[in-house]
Structure 1
Amino acid sequence: MNTIATKTRIRWWVAGLMWLAIAINYIDRTVLSAAAPHLIKELSLNAEMMGFIMAAFFWSYSLLQIPAGWFADRFGQKKGLGLAVAWWSIATSIMGLATGFKSLLALRLALGVGEAAAYPSNAGITARWFPDKERATVSGLFDSASKFGGAVAMPLIVWMIYMFDWRLTFMIIGAIGLVWVIAWYAIYAENPEDHKRISPQEVSYIRDGQVQKHGDKSVLPMKWYKLLRYRNIWAMCLGFFTINYTSYFFITWLPTYLVQEKGMDFIKMGMVAALPLICGMVIEVIAGWASDRVVHSGRLSLTATRKLFLTIGLLMALCIGFAPFTDSMFMTVLLLCVAKSGTTVAASQVWALPGDVAPKNSVSIVAGLQNTVSNLGGAIGPIVTGAIVAATGSFTFALVFSAALVVLGIVNYLFLMGKVEPIVEDVPAGTQQVSVGRA
């Protein structure tokens, strides 16, 4: 059973669909950022108004993470992810009809509603469809699509807006997701055992390599509020908040920063803004693969490996605080590329952690809880950045503040997060719960 299944590799088709879902997810949420310079001028928006519009997505996105995770664990990731992609694709297309601040705000809220299910569902799919030794590889792979989506979106959408207009661009981009939905329902099965084309060898390879064999319908997900009793859950949430605060700068304010502060023209900005995302995409897949190799070679424990890669990534992310202090465009872009790559090194571990620690059949809800807190960074980050820029006329203090939060993230993962193991809850109701990493 230690040999790779030779008859089928269905799990990698599933991974491809997961990757595409996140790529589409980020392309759809990045359209507004790429079009922001045009929207500010055409719809008479100021920096603070645009900050609220960018942040509105994260309000609904953050608040619905836990319900979306619960739905995916309870009713299956096939429904959870399929319905979500259909919803947000429609919302993206309708955004092309926006007429001003209020309509843009409402449609960004609607976009967040649909996109809330993407990451919790993918975390649950990873736990069901892949052996533990491939977890960080797959987590890094599907999350790397967020950088691909952003990287493709910038030059592609800038070109589309230049050739057509921003309204038609929103409509075309939104239609792409509906094509994915058709493929999803045609290919995906809830569990490996349920797939009509998978071989028994591949099923055995997947299931024999799992400590927690998720998918048993007789085991209900743990209540989300019970998870708050465990210190590792708090560490995962707080640490990811500091990562996301920095990370979302690259898909919200970066285009405006390059145009207004660095004096780039619109077309050049579209190409340069993609570079940090492309670097991050490649580095994240490598980091996920490398961490899996380290763990399963026995050189370091799972806990030591997760903490090592998280710390390395966040040290790289500190470079965002140095970017404003150079007049060299090359150094500015280099520092931003290193910073973004650092957030992706950390993210490859962040999205493996729910599968590492979640109770049985609760991976999506753990991922949803983690993403709820982390995306408060997305909810308040654009507002704080907009307010600082409006008050100071510069992005310098905004980027230094991001770096300070990264330092807190390092401290959090090193000292608050304990041993990385599954949370175990006693079956009899009312009995004392036994767990790993109890606060």
Structure 2
Amino acid sequence: MSGGNGFRAWREALARSPGYKWVVVGLLFFSGFLNLEDRVVIFSVMPLIRKELMLSDLFVGALMTVFLWTYALCSPLAGFFGDRLSRQKVIVGCLTLWSLVTVAAGLAASPAQLMTTRVLLAVTEAFYIPAALALVADYHTTATRAKAVAALVIGMNLGPIVGGAGAGWIGDHYGWRPTLIVLGGAGLALALLQALFLRDIPVGTSDGAGGPAAPRVQASLGATVAEILRTPSVVAIMVAVAIFSLGAWMLITWLPLFLYESFKMNLTQSGFFGNLAITGPVFLGALGGGLLSDYVGARQPKRRMALLLGFYVLALPWPILFSVATGPAIVLGSAFLFQLCRAFGELNSHPLIFELVTPEKRSTAIGISNCLNSLCGGVGALAVGRYRESLGFQTVFGLVPIIIALVAGGLLLAYLKFLDRDLARAVQRRTNAAG
């Protein structure tokens, strides 16, 4: 047997092995790492970019807001494509394109060019998460689904921790442009690896218990979105996660710069400690939250909503503490605890949405959720840019608990009034499809 045939045979055997579902998770772990890191890396080296391109606070906020709002507009359509097309091809294609855009961002010579790359990055990255999460749901049953989703979340949030420190170090020593070029090159190499080893699986395989897989969705985008949004529990979950994104993207966009300016940290320190406080707890929350979610809710999905609500309530005090902090330890600690509670709660959202939505519409559902997350996140990033001089970053973030309280009320209403009915209807739809 030739070397090429031997490699192909080994690759086919790997794809048929029982453990291949975790190989899929491993491959998506690394593309998730780059997906979030490539969008936030410029904020780890923002002092250098601001100085070279002479950017205002409002423009810095707009860099993230334009990204998020473009991402939001593209997300429902991106999710719809993930339900209609090969999810493997969508994942590999968007990874290739956003890596090329990241390289282009490193070559930007003006504010307009930098903003253009943010728009293009948003369009290309929007296709990744819906297709990746839906592919994971097709490979993993409810027994391991939350743990698999948690692994993807860990990968995404490890990117800014490791990449934030690395970007700061490269920025301190070589400037901001090499950082973006190196990240883009790494993404192109990973895209080649995924083209070789990542495989599709029939939609709904993990839900069929050996039965026929679900057909590819045939309804129009509008009809698919309308059907998803007719489930009140899904709407409540999506809105809650989106509102928390408002606070999270305030931190992601502005905390490293706040540390650099307020506490005289260098870029390596502000990039590392800022991103550690923002994404480190999400890493821990994914580790613990995925296990907890599957342990508590694999057989009784309603309990996932209870976990989501409980941890979101626990997040309430920390923005208030952040708003009155006078030293870096309390600033970082309160941001860390806010994100930790958010992570433990949010880990329940995707597995619960997957229970409430039929398999052939899962990618679209995640696209809608990403749309709402990005719209709210963009508002948060821009609000700080608008009011940082007059009110201060800490004061603006300290107002977040007001809307968290409203979110908790909405989740409680959905839990008490709608969730049992919506879960029963979802089971009936899957039963009818299998029959």
Same topology, TM > 0.5 = yes
Deviation at 1:237? 2.2
Task: Tell me: CA distance 1:131–1:257, structure 2 relative to 1, closer, same or farther (3 Å).
Answer: same
Comparing 93-102 and 105-114, the one that deviates more: 93-102
User: 2-side partners of 1:61 and 1:247: how far apart?
Assistant: 16
The one-letter code sitting in structure 2 at the alignment partner of 1:110 is L
Per-residue displacement from partner, 1:78-112 (whole Å, max 9, x unpaired)?
A: 12211111111111110012122211111101000
The one-letter code sitting in structure 2 at the alignment partner of 1:327 is T
User: 1-side partners of 2:309 and 2:171: how far apart?
Assistant: 38
> Which residue pairs with 2:158 in the alignment?
148
Deviation at 1:44? 0.9
> Which residue pairs with 1:233 in the alignment?
234
Is 1:375 the equivalent of 2:374?
A: yes
Deviation at 1:278? 1.9
Write the mapping of 1:402-417 to structure 2, written as runs, cut at 5 A.
402-416=400-414
Segments of structure 2 that go 5 or more residues without pairing to the other structure are 1-15
Per-residue displacement from partner, 1:175-200 (whole Å, max 9, x unpaired)?
A: 1111111111211221179xxxxxxx
The one-letter code sitting in structure 2 at the alignment partner of 1:129 is Y
> Which residue pairs with 1:25 in the alignment?
35
> Which residue pairs with 1:294 in the alignment?
296
Task: Tell me: CA distance 1:151–1:349, structure 2 relative to 1, closer, same or farther (3 Å).
Answer: same
User: 1-side partners of 2:394 and 2:217: how far apart?
Assistant: 54
Task: Tell me: CA distance 1:209–1:33, structure 2 relative to 1, closer, same or farther (3 Å).
Answer: farther
Per-residue displacement from partner, 1:53-87 (whole Å, max 9, x unpaired)?
A: 12111121111111111111101211221111111
SS of residue matched to 1:157 = helix
User: 2-side partners of 1:181 and 1:317: how far apart?
Assistant: 40
Is 1:303 the equivalent of 2:313?
A: no
The one-letter code sitting in structure 2 at the alignment partner of 1:356 is E
User: 2-side partners of 1:313 and 1:346: how far apart?
Assistant: 6
User: 2-side partners of 1:288 and 1:317: how far apart?
Assistant: 22
Deviation at 1:137? 1.4
> Which residue pairs with 2:7 in the alignment?
none
Task: Tell me: CA distance 1:381–1:345, structure 2 relative to 1, closer, same or farther (3 Å).
Answer: same
User: 2-side partners of 1:263 and 1:47: how far apart?
Assistant: 18
Could you say which structure has the higher helix fraction?
2
The one-letter code sitting in structure 2 at the alignment partner of 1:415 is L
SS of residue matched to 1:216 = coil
SS of residue matched to 2:315 = helix
The one-letter code sitting in structure 2 at the alignment partner of 1:401 is L
Task: Tell me: CA distance 1:213–1:158, structure 2 relative to 1, closer, same or farther (3 Å).
Answer: farther
Task: Tell me: CA distance 1:78–1:317, structure 2 relative to 1, closer, same or farther (3 Å).
Answer: farther
Task: Tell me: CA distance 1:317–1:163, structure 2 relative to 1, closer, same or farther (3 Å).
Answer: farther
Output the aligned Cα RMSD.
2.6
Q: Is contact 1:242-1:406 (8 Å) kept? A: yes
Task: Tell me: CA distance 1:326–1:188, structure 2 relative to 1, closer, same or farther (3 Å).
Answer: same
Task: Tell me: CA distance 1:229–1:36, structure 2 relative to 1, closer, same or farther (3 Å).
Answer: same
User: 2-side partners of 1:409 and 1:42: how far apart?
Assistant: 41
TM, length-normalised to structure 2: 0.87
Q: Is contact 2:316-2:405 (8 Å) kept? A: no
Deviation at 1:373? 1.2
> Which residue pairs with 1:196 in the alignment?
none
Task: Tell me: CA distance 1:181–1:281, structure 2 relative to 1, closer, same or farther (3 Å).
Answer: same
- The one of 271, 278, 281 aligned to 1:279: 281
Report the count of equivalent residues. 408
- The one of 116, 121, 135 aligned to 1:125: 135
User: 1-side partners of 2:144 and 2:91: how far apart?
Assistant: 21
Comparing 43-52 and 213-222, the one that deviates more: 213-222
